[in-house]
Amino acid sequence: MPDDLHIQRPDSDAALEDWRHVHNAVIPTHLLSLDDVRERARRHHLEVAYVGDELVGCSTVRPPTDETLTATVIARVLSTHRGQGLGNELYARGLARARELGGRVIDTVVLSSNEDGLRFARRHGFIETERYLLPGDTIPWIDLRLA
């Protein structure tokens, strides 16, 4: 993993725009506006990752909201930066944050066309629980749960 990796909560519109860029690059079927990201930042724990000054990834932790104490952890790395351990770091931080927020069951969600993301999730112990299409979508989403 690069020595100059730093991960932070997006604390400005520029950082939220970086988070949005990674999200939209990894999930091109569900493009978000800056206003969408601002709203998500109020509900979820978002982080953005840089190596030096270069944007490399982002993450989302959806806090537990139900009686099962299920939290959702999502790590995204731009394709040109995969295979360097960046996803592992984002995921580890997200998992720790989910546990801090009371998450006892950990889920993730991956777009089915994101083969790298599916391999990553399965390699980290997630198993598929559901496939579905959102209204207007043509590529299924896959929900996975940490075994």
Q: 16-26: per-residue pLDDT in tens?
A: 999 999 999 99
Task: Please tell me the predicted confidence (pLDDT) of residue 2.
Answer: 80
Q: Amino acid letter at 139?
A: I
As beta bridge partners, residue 104 has none
H or E element: which one contains 135?
none
Q: Report residue 3's pLDDT band, with 50, 70 and 90 as the boundaries.
A: confident
Question: At what angle are helices 13-26 and 34-43 packed, to 10 degrees?
Answer: 100
User: What tens digit of pLDDT does each residue of 87-122 get?
Assistant: 999 999 999 999 999 999 999 999 999 999 999 999
As beta bridge partners, residue 141 has 111, 132
List CB contacts of 2: < 8 A, sequence separation 6 or more.
51, 52, 84, 86
How far is Cα of residue 70 from the mean position of the Cα atoms in its chain? Answer: 15
Task: Please tell me the predicted confidence (pLDDT) of residue 82.
Answer: 94
pTM metric for this prediction:
0.94
Residue 72: helix, strand or coil by DSSP?
strand
As a whole number of angstroms, the distance between CA 32 and CA 137 comes to 15
Q: Taking the alpha carbons of 22, 137, 123, 72 in that order, is the dihedral positive or negative?
A: positive
% pLDDT > 90, the chain:
92
Task: Please tell me the predicted confidence (pLDDT) of residue 4.
Answer: 94
H or E element: which one contains 103?
none
- Confirm if 50 and 77 have CB atoms less than 8 A apart: no
As beta bridge partners, residue 49 has 7, 57
- Domain residue extents for the chain: 5-146
Task: Please tell me the predicted confidence (pLDDT) of residue 102.
Answer: 96
Choices 3.40.630.30, 1.10.600.10, 3.40.50.620, 3.30.56.10: CATH for 5-146:
3.40.630.30
